[in-house]
Amino acid sequence: MILAATTNENLANTANVLVYSSMAVYTLAFLAHIAEWVLGSRSKVGRTAAALTGAGAKATATATVEVRTAEQEKGGGTAVLDRPKVITRSAAGRRDVPDGPGAAGGTFKGDLYGRIAVAMTALGFLLEAVGVITRAMAVQRAPWGNMYEFSTTFSTVAVGTYLGFLLAKKNVRWIGLPLVTTVLLNLGIATTVLYTDSDQLVPALHSYWLWIHVSTAIFCGAVFYLGAVGTLFYLLRDVYESKIARGVTVGRAWSSVMERLPAAATLDKFSYRVNAAVFPLWTFTIIAGAIWAGDAWGRYWGWDPKEVWSFITWVAYACYLHARATAGWKGRKAATLALVAFGCWLFNYYGVNIFVTGKHSYAGV
């Protein structure tokens, strides 16, 4: 008995070390992302700005360039190569604007630091994931019985989802800087304010529904977070594109950031797709929670604060998805709804757990 308790304590300490180690690596990733943005080429950004001001519908045109090599000079031949099409993803009535070159600005040095940042992010993810697994071994249950465990698992899943998008060859490296910044803040709060020693759960939580209900809630929150980042950048980029279209002068530092992001239409489509894809899973999360409540407390719905705010979050995202299908609410109005919906999710996690007392308060902070 004593040996088992000592082993569990050692595992818990190891888990803490792994989480702190991941924070150190995420810090290196943060600095590398900063270097990627700072060292990105201004010339590439300048060309993107020119495309924004004069492209319009011409942004989708395909140009040709002549490349003459030394051997071709001797033979008098000319090779004509098609320049890759400028990819635009605008809906009807929207501006046709090409995607920016990315945080690296299209330069080797910027791209090098970006790749280092991604590598450090991947290493931090592995350390944190092993830390979460070690915590699970220490407590001998699902590693999300309190806010500390939920926070560490949440950031792990968020980073893992981001890396999954990169492995799928999606152009999402622009999420890297806000992601590692948020992860560091989240882990900083988790390891200081929210930290709770490993302990067993109350009998009501000893159910396989803990693995199903809470795991889906964590995954939904991670994807909703990525969608919120895309939505925020969409709003900023859309305002920027509107100013450029009207000929308004924009500050150099601000334009340098905006010009490297994907086009507003691309960001809007990304946010909509990830939110729409995970919304059915959030619906399942609420249903699973209701089934679990029926097993644990003898009722499926009791208007507990956590239940209420989960439903409010569901309604907010449902309104956002409906607004996307309504002509008068597309664009910035719908995007604002998406941010409000994610704000509801955040309050459901932090606000309800910390400031409101209910049946979901037994796990402690």
Contacts of 300 (CB under 8 A, 6+ apart): 290, 291, 293, 294
> What pLDDT does 89 receive?
39
Range of lowest pLDDT (98-107, 116-125, 161-170, 283-292): 98-107
> What pLDDT does 56 receive?
44
Q: State pLDDT tens for residues 160-217.
A: 999 999 999 998 999 999 999 999 999 999 999 888 887 667 666 778 888 899 999 9
Q: First vs last Cα of the chain: how many Å apart?
A: 27
Residue 68 has pLDDT above 70, yes or no: no
76/70 Cα distance (integer angstroms): 10
> What pLDDT does 300 receive?
84
Mean pLDDT: which of 224-228, 245-249, 324-328 is highest? 224-228
Q: State pLDDT tens for residues 86-113.
A: 333 344 445 678 888 888 888 899 999 9
∠ at Cα 250 (244, 254), nearest 5°?
A: 115
Range of lowest pLDDT (23-37, 68-82, 108-122, 225-239): 68-82
> What pLDDT does 44 receive?
52
